[in-house]
Structure 1
Amino acid sequence: MAAPPRPIPSIHRQPAKPSNHVARCFPDPPKGPSAPGPASSTSTTNTNTNPLLSLLSAVPDWADAVSERRIRDRRPLYTHADWREHRSSRRHLRHLLSSLTSRVILSLAPPVSAFTAFAAAIATYNTLLPAYALTASSLPYQLTAPALALLLVFRTEASYARFDEGRKAWMRVIAAAADLAGMAMRHHNPPATRALLNYILAFPLALKCHIICHSDIKRDLQGLLSEDDLNVVLRSKHRPRCIIEFISQSLYMLDFDENKRNIMESKLSCFLEGISVCEQLIGIPIPLSYTRLTSRFLVLWHLTLPVILWDECKWIVVPATFISAASLFCIEEVGVLIEEPFPMLALDELCKQLHDSTQDVMSVQNLVHNRLAAKTKDQDSGSMRCSDNGWPSSKSEQAKID
């Protein structure tokens, strides 16, 4: 068996506080408006830019700013009340009334408005110059409509598969952290394992900050790790792996049984697998040729739609183009939205749920331990009574039962 690694001086237990619970690490979110994230380099405007180009890019820049701001909102975990509202018969009216605040719909304002304006321009031209009207047969659309439908379906299915893979990876990470924390809490010296529990609970937070942009890892780990440990994590290039190293070193420094230590170390493989899956989903999108093909197909479809429909619909081509662009681009936008799964998942709430459940288990563990200790004390007192749940309350009665 390999010799245990040399202890590193950066592992410290929490500052001395006679507390039996895990350090608190989830402060209440600020009630004021959230501070804006760092400005993107693409939003920087040049004073010498053409005013026409600035005017044309104003709507896309606004839509992108709204989209990026809303994507940083914290997602909640559903409760029973949320599920009742989710399947309510009034959900259609509620969804319709909230359309103007939808991030997906607001992000579609630039393309949908552009294609609608283009349809209005074609309709105006055909009305003013009927002898030179732009018209064409609808047969090409009838032949290519199934291809466009299949392309959108496959694109959305591929995006949902990535979303589901990310969700399952996080469920495995949370389950492994809960198992590891439970094994640590059953150690015969709970105060000695308090720092280890904090390292275990810090890993999901570090992984969340590693894969989600604009995350504040220092704020998330401020009340969970000691100042020295937090500085080591912040200086690390790969913070989730740094947390894993803290856990691994702590297992060797604490006097765990050899078999139990091996089982606990095997749980760390779930953490490493979660890191690998998350980094692959972030770094490898759906093949770009597929995404570009879908986008180009939709653009060409709606640029030619007013020409195809003019003979049959006349000015109705304007609302028809608007409805078609809003519907099809919305499907494509949902596929792009869930292609990066982690901003869509309630990762903050999952980490908080793990923290709160660990606290609750520790409280129940103390209550059960005190209750059983009281039963054992009654058993040693020599009383001939049996308790309500059948425990023998004396050694003589236990001998009779045996």
Structure 2
Amino acid sequence: MAAAPRPVPCIHRQPGKASTHVARCFPEPPKGPSAPASSTNPLLSLLSAVPDWADAVSERRIRDRRPLYTHADWRDHRSSRRHLRHLLSSLTSRVILSLAPPVSAFTAFAAAIATYNTLLPAYALTASSLPYQLTAPALALLLVFRTEASYARFDEGRKAWMRVIAAAADLAGMVMRHHNTTGTRALLNYILAFPIALKCHIICHSDIKKDLQGLLSEDDLNVVLRSKHRPRCIIEFISQSLYMLDFDENKRNIMESKLSCFLEGIGVCEQLIGIPIPLSYTRLTSRFLVLWHLTLPVILWDECKWIVVPATFISAASLFCIEEVGVLIEEPFPMLALDELCKQLHDSTQDVMSVQNLVHKRLAAKTKDQDSGSRRCSDNGQDFDEPYQPDEFRGNERVLLVEY
């Protein structure tokens, strides 16, 4: 049987140009749509109805905007009634909804094993619990490592975004201290647009045109939308604006150093999105959990009888919930309040600008009043630039001068 042809680099040369464009040619995909197996088999379509519904609800819920916590949210978070609130909201939980297919399947399988053992006690499916006692620590270590590795990725994404927001705030503060011109206002808008472009770059179903509509001009927005890498396009706007404006060399170098934080944030975010936890470990944890709960009714039948059904339900709901949380936070950015962070940066920048204008007007008015007061005092023959001296000292000074 002949092997499939390997992709080879192809060099395309345009006539009249000395440069070459190197592209990689891949074999064409097979023509004709390939229908999934579930659409051709009615039984498979029926069995996949519940998982498809749960996945659709989960993906719709994952696109919800996450809020930043306030003082009231923290009070509710540590309230003594939180356990009752969490229990009552179980049916609307994304994690629990995604667990409905596996937990219901394993519970039904446990009920089938219990029915079989009750109807045919002579051929009952039973086994010793010693293998479970020996393998339970291994399963615990798998789940612990899975959740710890996922939280490490979540924490890394959070820290990367905090560095990006802090660098944008510092850069915006440096620009606002410069004299107010059309170029500085445009540069400030580019800085505020970068976190939004990065958020839309790493989160699916984001509408960057809607998010940047009122921040960038129509021409700039069209350039960003045509770019394949929109965050780097915004960085290019910022970099060229720094050279076009009349910043001094030292300040420009400091401001350009902030752009390295933007590039580092892009690299960390793309790394977290493109490289998951090793798939072999994820598959191992999933297979271990499945085999564990498929054999759990057989192991517990001698001691528990029909209690194996609720026992399997509780075990599957608990262990699969831990694994589901690990999978959920493995992609950290939908779990972070990125929209609120971008809005907070924009609002804080607007507030700082208004405060700067107010303080500048107030100080200018105070300086004007002091200058006018100094002029009035100078007209009356008294100079307020001299330090105040007591009358006795001034008198003694006059006496000394006379004696001298």
Same fold (TM over 0.5): yes
What CA distance in whole angstroms lies between the structure 2 residues aligned with 1:56 and 1:242? Answer: 46
Which residue of structure 2 lines up, in the alignment, with residue 288 of structure 1?
Answer: 279
What CA distance in whole angstroms lies between the structure 2 residues aligned with 1:255 and 1:172? Answer: 27
Which residue of structure 1 lines up, in the alignment, with residue 123 of structure 2?
Answer: 132
| Structure 2 unpaired stretches of 5+ | 382-401
- Count of aligned residue pairs for this structure pair: 383
- Cα deviations across residues 112-139 of structure 1 (Å, max 9, x unaligned)? 0000000000000000000000000000
| Superposed displacement of residue 23, structure 1 | 41
Structure 1 residues 243-252 or 189-198, which shifts more? 189-198
| Superposed displacement of residue 31, structure 1 | 43
Which residue of structure 1 lines up, in the alignment, with residue 399 of structure 2?
Answer: none
Q: Measured at CA, do residues 384 and 151 of structure 1 come closer, stay the same or move farther in structure 2, by a change above 3 Å?
A: same
Q: Is the 8 A contact 1:66 1:103 kept in 2?
A: yes
- Cα deviations across residues 253-285 of structure 1 (Å, max 9, x unaligned)? 111111111110010000000000000000000
| Superposed displacement of residue 213, structure 1 | 0.3
What CA distance in whole angstroms lies between the structure 1 residues aligned with 2:75 and 2:18? Answer: 43
- Cα deviations across residues 279-337 of structure 1 (Å, max 9, x unaligned)? 00000000000000000000000000000000000000000000000000000000000
| Superposed displacement of residue 338, structure 1 | 0.1
What CA distance in whole angstroms lies between the structure 2 residues aligned with 1:366 and 1:20? Answer: 54
Q: Measured at CA, do residues 11 and 289 of structure 1 come closer, stay the same or move farther in structure 2, by a change above 3 Å?
A: closer
Runs of 4+ in 1 over 4 A off after TM superposition: 1-35, 38-41, 384-390
Q: Measured at CA, do residues 229 and 29 of structure 1 come closer, stay the same or move farther in structure 2, by a change above 3 Å?
A: farther
| Structure 1 unpaired stretches of 5+ | 42-48, 391-400
Q: Is the 8 A contact 1:178 1:354 kept in 2?
A: yes
| Superposed displacement of residue 51, structure 1 | 1.5
Which residue of structure 2 lines up, in the alignment, with residue 397 of structure 1?
Answer: none
| Superposed displacement of residue 383, structure 1 | 3.4
What CA distance in whole angstroms lies between the structure 2 residues aligned with 1:94 and 1:117? Answer: 29
Q: Measured at CA, do residues 50 and 40 of structure 1 come closer, stay the same or move farther in structure 2, by a change above 3 Å?
A: closer
| Superposed displacement of residue 20, structure 1 | 49
Identity of aligned residues (%): 95
| Superposed displacement of residue 64, structure 1 | 0.2
| Superposed displacement of residue 15, structure 1 | 42
What CA distance in whole angstroms lies between the structure 2 residues aligned with 1:389 and 1:348? Answer: 62
Q: CA RMSD in A?
A: 12.4
Q: Is the 8 A contact 2:203 2:333 kept in 1?
A: yes
| Superposed displacement of residue 381, structure 1 | 1.2
**Structure with the greater relative contact order (CA < 8 A, sep ≥ 6): 1 or 2?**
1
| Superposed displacement of residue 168, structure 1 | 0.1
| Superposed displacement of residue 70, structure 1 | 0.2
Q: Measured at CA, do residues 197 and 158 of structure 1 come closer, stay the same or move farther in structure 2, by a change above 3 Å?
A: same
What CA distance in whole angstroms lies between the structure 2 residues aligned with 1:168 and 1:301? Answer: 37
Q: Is the 8 A contact 2:13 2:19 kept in 1?
A: no
| Superposed displacement of residue 50, structure 1 | 1.7
TM-score w.r.t. the length of structure 2 is 0.83
| Superposed displacement of residue 164, structure 1 | 0.1
What CA distance in whole angstroms lies between the structure 2 residues aligned with 1:160 and 1:387? Answer: 70
For the pair 1:27 / 2:27, whether they are aligned, the reply is yes
What CA distance in whole angstroms lies between the structure 2 residues aligned with 1:2 and 1:245? Answer: 49
| Superposed displacement of residue 10, structure 1 | 34
Q: Measured at CA, do residues 241 and 27 of structure 1 come closer, stay the same or move farther in structure 2, by a change above 3 Å?
A: farther
| Superposed displacement of residue 4, structure 1 | 51
Which residue of structure 2 lines up, in the alignment, with residue 346 of structure 1?
Answer: 337
Counterpart secondary structure, 2:314: helix
1:117 is aligned, of 102, 108, 115, to 108
1:226-245 maps to which residues of 2 (within 5 A)? 226-245=217-236
TM-score w.r.t. the length of structure 1 is 0.84
Counterpart secondary structure, 1:383: helix
What CA distance in whole angstroms lies between the structure 1 residues aligned with 2:2 and 2:53? Answer: 59
Q: Is the 8 A contact 1:4 1:252 kept in 2?
A: no
Q: Measured at CA, do residues 5 and 316 of structure 1 come closer, stay the same or move farther in structure 2, by a change above 3 Å?
A: closer
What CA distance in whole angstroms lies between the structure 2 residues aligned with 1:25 and 1:381? Answer: 79
- Cα deviations across residues 150-186 of structure 1 (Å, max 9, x unaligned)? 1100100000000000000000000000000000000
